[in-house]
Amino acid sequence: MPEVRSPLTAEARLAQVRRGEAARRRRRLLREQAGPLWERMARVVPAVFTLQGKLDVRRLVAPAEAVVEALRGRAILALDTAARISLGRGLLAGGDVHAYVESRTVIDSLAEAGLVDASPWPDPVLVRPWAGPPRLLAVVPAVPPPYRALASGHLVVTRERLERELLGAVGPRPDLFALVEGG
C-alpha cells in the first residue's frame, strides 16, 4: 500500500521554499566567486572512478605509503593518491589509496605481502563522510585510463583525467579544482 503523506501546511511550504532559495543563492555565489575557473570546470565531463571497471575494496593493514610503494610501476594511481604523488598534496581527507590495476593478481600479491586484507572490505563508498579504516580502492578496468610515468617510477593518471575523476567524486568544487589545475 502506498505511503500516505499529509499535505504541507503553509508554514512548512514557505520554509521549504526559503531553504531552496538559500541553496540557490549559495550556488550562485560560488559560481560568481569562482569566475573563469567555474567556466573551465563546467566544460569537464566527470568520470566516476568506481564505475570504470570491476571495483575491489580492501582494508589497508600497512601504512598507505607502503601500499603506494608496492604499487610503483604495477598500477596507475588515481584520484587522491595521484594528487598526493604528482602534486605533493591530497584532495580528500580519507587516506584511502585509489588505483587502477591490470588484474586482481596485483591485489592478491599485496594481500600475500601483508599490506592489505585478503578478504574484500564491505564498504565501497568512495568519499565517506564518516571515519573508517584506510582502504585500497582498486579498479580493474577494461581499458586503462590515460596515464603518465613520473621520475619516481609511479604511474599516475593525466592531469585532465584527474580533473574528471575529481568532479566525478566530489562534484563541482572550485577550491579543489584550482589545486589540480594550478598543479
61-82 pLDDT per residue, tens? 999 999 999 999 999 999 999 9
Interior angle at CA 37, CA 32 and CA 41, nearest 5: 110
Q: Tens digits of per-residue pLDDT, 37-65?
A: 888 888 889 999 999 999 999 999 999 99
pLDDT at residue 111 tops 70 = yes
- Which domain, by its residues, includes 31? 10-42
- Which pLDDT band holds residue 183 (cuts at 50, 70, 90)? low
Number of folded domains that form the chain: 2
Same domain, 61 and 134: yes
Judged by average pLDDT, the poorest of 3-7, 16-20, 77-81 is: 3-7
Could you tell me if residue 2 is inside a domain?
Answer: no
Average of per-residue pLDDT across 117-137: 91
The cell numbers describing 40, all together, are 573551465
Query: Could you tell me which residues come within 8 angstroms of residue 151 by beta carbon, excluding any fewer than 6 positions away?
Result: none
Handedness of CA 100, 103, 104, 110 (dihedral sign): negative
Neighbours of 167 (CB within 10 A): 21
Same domain, 68 and 147: yes
Per DSSP, the three-state class of 91 is coil
Same domain, 82 and 163: yes
Same domain, 38 and 102: no
pTM exceeds 0.95, yes or no: no
